[in-house]
Amino acid sequence: MSLQLLWGLLAAHPAKLINVLALLITCPGGLLLHFARRREVQARESLAAEEGVVDAFYQRVPRYYYILGFSCLAMALLLSWFSTWV
């Protein structure tokens, strides 16, 4: 497939291109939220097993994962809404 044909398809359907970009941003955001849940569960299990204090690192990291994950999802939602106006 030539580059001109590919560019012509993208230029003819810009909303689809924007939705693909939103999808590519959504996937890492969802993975970050999933990993935050897993890390939180692991921290709770280690707390229950050791009966000790959870390290501050294990309390901070899920919070950053949540912030980055939800910001990726919000940015993807805004891009998807923007594609409806194009």
Query: What is residue 45's predicted lDDT score, i.e. its pLDDT?
Result: 79
Query: What is residue 56's predicted lDDT score, i.e. its pLDDT?
Result: 64
∠ CA 35-41-47, rounded to 5°: 135
Tokens describing residue 79: 């891009």
How far is it, in rounded angstroms, from Cα 5 to Cα 77?
29
Q: Mind listing the pLDDT tens digit for each residue in 26-81?
A: 999 999 999 988 888 887 777 766 655 656 666 667 788 899 999 999 999 999 99
How far is it, in rounded angstroms, from Cα 34 to Cα 32?
5
Query: What is residue 54's predicted lDDT score, i.e. its pLDDT?
Result: 57
pTM of the model: 0.73
